[in-house]
Amino acid sequence: MNILLIDNGTRYINHLLTLLSYEQVDLKPWSQLSSASREYDAIILSGGHSYEIATHSKEYAREIAYIKESPSPILGICLGFELIAYTFGAKLKKISTQEKGTLEIEITTPDPLFIGLKQRVRVFENHRWVVDELPEDLSSLARSKDGIEILRHNNRMMYGVQFHPELCLDQNKKENFITRFLEQARLFK
């Protein structure tokens, strides 16, 4: 697959590249995006800590436009999840303390992404922002004590995960959410 990996300043870029090492990956910093194109089979939006979205929408304007315009399947991770939610009108809420470490999430809505998984899954979190409610274009697929953990666009092949699946490299590759997303994206063609 030809994948565009948009680096939002994540500390975990090498983990993502390792997980994607069997794919053709075009790595681009978020600040260097141009208009969306059809040349990619899938797009992954990394996490990052450069700017919070709520007060820096101008800095993320190109990435937000890319999310709106791209016909390719998209997976947003952490900040990428927040960008997808924000793009379609969700309100982001800052939590008082950073959520960092392993957290249990509950899958609340069936989806092809979850076939064969248990209803409760442990994931690695590292964020300060959460989403409690989604606009009508998006649906919640999983929740934790903090709020929505996995979302899906209702009319497009677009998912967001609030956690970091790239840090679960020791788990069975078939269980990894990035691997599962790419399998679904292959079917999308």
Helix extents (H) in the chain: 13-19, 61-69, 79-87, 177-188
Report the mean per-residue pLDDT for the chain.
Answer: 86
Strand 74-77: give its sheet, edge to edge. Answer: 24-29, 2-7, 42-45, 74-77, 158-161, 147-153, 138-144, 92-107, 120-131
pLDDT band for position 167 (cuts 50, 70, 90): confident
pLDDT band for position 131 (cuts 50, 70, 90): confident
pLDDT band for position 170 (cuts 50, 70, 90): very low
Q: How far apart are CA 86 and CA 59, in angstroms?
A: 13
* Higher pLDDT, residue 55 or 44: 44
Give the chain's radius of gyration (CA, Å). 15
Q: Is 168 marked active-site?
A: no
Q: How far apart are CA 17 and CA 171, in angstroms?
A: 16
Note the pLDDT of residue 119: 86
Average confidence (pLDDT) over 136-154? 93
* Higher pLDDT, residue 22 or 31: 22
Catalytic residue among 78, 149, 153, 168: 78
Whether pTM exceeds 0.85: yes
Catalytic residue among 82, 127, 149, 164: 164
Q: Is 164 marked active-site?
A: yes
> Going from the N-terminus, what domains does the chain have, and what CATH number goes with each?
2-188 (3.40.50.880)
* Higher pLDDT, residue 182 or 35: 182
Least confident of 57-61, 170-174, 177-181: 170-174
Exposed/middle/buried for residue 85 (C-beta within 10 Å: 0-12, 13-18, 19+): buried
Catalytic residue among 63, 82, 149, 166: 166
Q: Is 78 marked active-site?
A: yes
Condensed to tens digits (0 to 9), the pLDDT of residues 66-100 reads 899 889 999 999 999 999 999 999 988 877 776 67
